[in-house]
Copies of this chain bind each other. A is one copy, B any other.
Amino acid sequence: MEPQLNLVRLKTMYEKMVLIRKFEERIIELVQEQGRIPGMQILANGQEAVAVGIIESLNAEDVIVSNHRSHGHLLAKGADPKYLMAEIMGKSGGVNKGKSGTLHLAVPEVNALMTSTVVGAGPPLAAGAAFAQQYRDEPNITVVFFGDGAAAEGSVHEAMNLAALWKLPLLFVCENNCWAGAQSYSQHCSIGNIAQRGIAYDMPGEYVDGNDVEKVYDLAVSMTDYCRKGKGPALIEAKTYRMRGHGENDHQHYVDKEELVFWTKKCPIGNLKEKMLKEGLITEDELQVVETVSKAIVDEAVAFADESPFPYAEEALDDVWVK
């Protein structure tokens, strides 16, 4: 374990990962109970270490820009699970009053101001946020999460060039989960490591084992430090894996079963748990508490969401304009 990563932090990160996992496992159950959740659910199962490791390196004032796979990012940043769950269910108590649903959850309370399900849209939006931070001489930075698939979008290139040119305090985090929909990495991307694209903008680019929260955190600390010092943007490619289909109706008929087994063994939560146990950093009792607490949080979130009514139909007309 790196020196800057003390035990308290490691446990916090473990707790957050477990919360994300439980939150999304509950979504899976709710989807199976026909009709309890409208629409597609894009889950971060297996990718928790990326969200948690990166965001643990940030301050509360730092901004994140997320994408369609946002639950992990938002929970890690401190979003209230109750309001998220209610939003995912389309309830009026949701963080966005039911206007968004899972795909574009914005939680300005925790500086997650913009989330877009348009693949590749995050980076230019994030460049705008980072520009505002630079313009106001703030000490804060912006982090944008996007997928390996998104890296093929033109908007990502434009944002990287602009950010590098203007030395914006912007950390690009590419979550390479080996898939873009049903297209595997090698079917959509022309290079081995997306991190290498940093060279194309004279920006540092490094990849990391995205299933190892400690390694993600360590790299994030050095990269965010770089951005925060005004040196310009940086790029992290976190290599991880999407454990479920793209949406709960996707039964991954196109996925090699051995690949799934391989990555199941690399579970970011299971491995950290084992390691902490082995090294005596945590006890079975403590682990049980983490489970119990996160289950309680998720129970509470679902109860809140269940109780929240659907929004009035006519309220659909609100919130387009600032009046």
Contacts and interface: CB of A to CB of B under 8 A. Distances in A.
Nearest to A167: B190
Contacts of A153: 154, 158
Interface string A192-216: 1000110111110000000000000
B200 A200 contact: yes
B165 A154 contact: no
A111 interface: no
Would you list the 9 A-B pairs with minimal beta carbon distance, nearest first? Answer: A154-B154, A157-B157, A164-B190, A200-B200, A165-B190, A190-B201, A197-B200, A191-B202, A154-B158
Contact of A200 (B162, B187, B196): B196
B201 A199 contact: no
A152 interface: yes
A199 B202 contact: no
Contact of A157 (B154, B164, B187): B154
A44 B197 CA distance: 32
Q: Which of A161, A165, A202 has the most CB of B within 10 A?
A: A161
A156 interface: yes
Contacts of A199: 191, 196, 199-200
Interface in A23-39: none
Contact of A161 (B161, B165, B190, B192): B190
A164 B151 CA distance: 14
Nearest to A159: B154
Interface in A238-274: none
Interface residues of A, number: 25
Contacts of A197: 200
Contacts of A189: 161, 165
Contacts of A117: none
Given A156-B157, A157-B158, A191-B200, 16 more contacts: A152-B162, A153-B158, A154-B156, A154-B157, A161-B189, A161-B190, A162-B190, A164-B190, A165-B187, A165-B190, A190-B202, A191-B201, A191-B202, A196-B200, A197-B200, A199-B200
A155 B187 CA distance: 19
A229 interface: no
A165 B188 contact: yes
A154 B216 CA distance: 29
Contacts of A201: 190-191
Interface in A148-179: 152-158, 160-162, 164-165
A192 B202 contact: yes
Contacts of A203: 190
A164 B200 CA distance: 15
A187 B158 CA distance: 14
A24 to B, nearest CB: 31
A166 to B, nearest CB: 9
Nearest to A233: B190
A160 B157 CA distance: 11
A128 to B, nearest CB: 16
Nearest to A155: B154
A162 B154 CA distance: 11
